[in-house]
């Protein structure tokens, strides 16, 4: 990364009905034809829903997945250990290349793709998938701060401009509404999918670690689970250079840190009363056909 100069912000365009930037479509043939393995674990989220938390459940703790040696957790950045499937940033290997070259088993792979764009071999191989969803209000706030500091994202404008785009679904990886409800519907027919909520993770990390372990078929001792729970606490992850993204120059941490607040309900510090009413109104419309339920406070 060190010799890289900051790129200008990319433009948003329509890709198979979803708003995208070229970083996630340039390698599309290889993404589409990606060969999943039956023991792969795919971690899927809408951007800024808390996938780092889920990663750390699975990727950081040696006790949970023995392939990830302790020294790698503090010496190798997370984007090398957990390939970002659709990414094609040119300065590092593409997500598919990194994943193809992983010798560890099972492989952990992350994606932000809406369910309809996930490469079909994941379904064919019946790979395990963990989806993490976060309530739309906090997700929007987190995404806004991320776009401010990340030159790999389109210009966010001010908070209100950003929020209007979020509501219209004009964000990278498309509308939040379709993303969370699309994956929720998939869960009804695909049993190897664990649907988790960021709010639950923050509320009771231990309980969610247990859910995840049982989904992955891992028998862990109480002590191991406690260790994992401690390791994924916000402060621990914020300190860890390999999970706080401090090695990536396209992100300007003076504007906003990657591990920003890690709270449920921070939206209250951003939404005006009018914006909140507008959000609730649109939410009712867009989410009227889904049974997925979110908590905006805990």
**Quick check: 259 binds ligand A3P (CB under 6 A)?**
yes
For residues 63 and 224, give the distance between their C-alpha atoms in angstroms, rounded to a whole number.
6
| CA distances from residue 156 to 9, 120, 128, 291 in whole angstroms, order as listed | 10, 32, 34, 30
Q: Which is nearer to ligand A3P, 30 or 296 (CB)?
A: 296
Are 96 and 31 in contact by the 8 Å Cβ rule? The answer is yes
Smallest distance, Å, CB 263 to ligand A3P? 6
Element (H, E) at 230: helix 222-231
Token pair recorded at residue 150: 């990340």
Catalytic residue among 22, 112, 145, 270: 112
**Minimal distance in Å, beta carbon 49 to ligand A3P?**
5
237, 242, 248, 251: which one binds ligand A3P (CB under 6 A)? 237
Among 82, 92, 194, 202, binds ligand A3P (CB under 6 A): 202
Q: Which of 20, 50, 128, 136 binds ligand A3P (CB under 6 A)?
A: 50
If you write DSSP's letter for every residue of 169-229 in order, what string do you get? T-STTS-HHHHHHHHHHHHHH-TTEEEEEHHHHHH-HHHHHHHHHHHHT----HHHHHHHH
Q: Interface with ligand A3P includes 232 (CB under 6 A)?
A: yes
Alpha helices in 4-128 (DSSP H): 28-32, 51-55, 70-75, 78-81, 95-101, 120-124
Near ligand A3P by CB under 6 A: residue from 73, 142, 150, 220: 142
Does the active-site annotation cover 112? Answer: yes
**Which residues, 6 or more positions from 78, have their beta carbon under 8 angstroms from its beta carbon?**
52, 55, 59, 60, 242, 243, 245
How remote is the C-alpha of 64 from its chain's centroid? 20
Q: Considering the rule CB under 6 A, would residue 49 count as an interface residue with ligand A3P?
A: yes
* DSSP summary character for residue 14: E
Residue 134 DSSP symbol: -
User: Which of 27, 45, 96, 244: binder of ligand A3P (CB under 6 A)?
Assistant: 45
Whether 25 contacts 112, CB under 8 Å: no
Instruction: Tell me: does residue 53 bind ligand A3P (CB under 6 A).
Output: yes
Closest distance to ligand A3P from the beta carbon of 51 (Å): 4
Based on the shown chain and the rule CB under 6 A, indicate whether residue 266 belongs to the binding site for ligand A3P: yes
**Member of 123, 195, 234, 294 binding ligand A3P (CB under 6 A):** 234
Q: Verify binding: residue 107, ligand A3P, rule CB under 6 A.
A: no
SS3 letters for 38-66? CCCEEEEECCCCCHHHHHHHHHHCCCCCC
Can you tell me the distance from the alpha carbon of 19 to that of 41, in angstroms, rounded to the nearest whole number? 26
Is 82 a binding residue for ligand A3P by CB under 6 A? The answer is no
Interface region with ligand A3P, contact rule CB under 6 A, candidates 45-53, 73-81, 101-109, 281-289: 45-53
| 51: contact with ligand A3P by CB under 6 A | yes
Q: How many residues bind ligand A3P (CB under 6 A)?
A: 19
Q: Which stretch binds ligand A3P (CB under 6 A): 21-29, 81-89, 211-219, 261-269?
A: 261-269
Which residues are part of the catalytic machinery? Answer: 112
Footprint on this chain of ligand A3P (rule: CB under 6 A): 45, 48-53, 138, 142, 145, 202, 232, 234, 237, 259-262, 266
């Amino acid at each position: 990364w060190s010799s890289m100069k900051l790129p200008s912000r990319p433009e948003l365009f329509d890709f198979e009905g979803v708003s995208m930037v070229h970083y996630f479509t340039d390698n599309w043939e290889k993404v589409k034809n990606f060969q999943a393995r039956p023991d792969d674990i795919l971690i899927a989220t809408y951007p800024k829903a808390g996938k780092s938390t889920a990663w750390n459940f699975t990727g950081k703790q040696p006790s949970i997945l023995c392939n990830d040696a302790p020294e790698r957790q503090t010496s190798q950045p997370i984007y090398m250990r957990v390939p970002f499937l659709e990414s094609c940033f040119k300065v590092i290997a593409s997500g598919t290349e990194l994943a193809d070259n992983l010798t560890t088993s099972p492989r952990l792979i992350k994606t932000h793709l809406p369910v309809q764009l996930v490469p079909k071999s994941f379904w064919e191989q019946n790979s395990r998938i963990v989806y993490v969803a976060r309530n739309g209000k906090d997700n929007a706030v987190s995404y806004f701060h991320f776009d401010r500091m990340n030159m790999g994202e389109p210009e966010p404008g001010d908070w209100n401009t950003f929020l209007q785009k979020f509501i219209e679904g004009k964000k990278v990886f498309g509308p939040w509404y379709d993303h969370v409800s699309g994956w929720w519907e998939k869960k009804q027919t695909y049993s190897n999918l664990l649907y988790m909520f960021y709010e639950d993770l923050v509320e009771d990390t231990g309980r969610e670690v247990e859910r995840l372990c049982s989904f992955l078929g891992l028998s862990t001792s109480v002590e191991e689970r406690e260790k994992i729970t401690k390791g994924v606490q916000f402060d621990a992850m914020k300190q860890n250079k390999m999970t706080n993204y401090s090695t990536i120059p396209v992100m300007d941490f003076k504007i906003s840190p990657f591990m920003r607040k890690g709270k449920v309900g921070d939206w209250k510090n951003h939404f005006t009363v009018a914006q909140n009413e507008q959000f609730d109104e649109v939410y009712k419309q867009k989410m009227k056909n889904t049974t997925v339920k979110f908590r905006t406070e805990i």
